[in-house]
Amino acid sequence: MVEPTSTTDKGKSTPSSKGKSTPSSRYRKLPERIRSEDMVATQETEPPPDPTMGRDPDRDFMLRNAGG
């Protein structure tokens, strides 16, 4: 619903209800700029587990296949 507006002596239209601004006045100023450091959430992580689980795959291969 559109609120009725009244015209002041300077020709600017203001809403007739007290304390509310016109919808177009909300978009006359851009919001504050957000720093790029604040855009990305960071979280400490643990290193990934060792995929070989501490084994030496080359040594295991040699032991399995060199036994003859």
pLDDT digit string, tens, across residues 54-63? 888 898 889 8
Instruction: Return the pLDDT at 19.
Output: 58
- Ramachandran region, residue 54 (left: φ > 0; alpha: ψ -120 to 50; beta: rest): left
Confidence of residue 2 (pLDDT cuts 50, 70, 90): low
User: Does the structure show a pLDDT above 60 at 7?
Assistant: no
SS3 2: coil
pLDDT digit string, tens, across residues 22-58? 878 888 888 899 888 888 888 889 998 888 888 888 9
Q: Residue holding tokens 């509310």?
A: 20
Contact 12, 21 (CB under 8 A): no
User: Does the structure show a pLDDT above 70 at 1?
Assistant: no
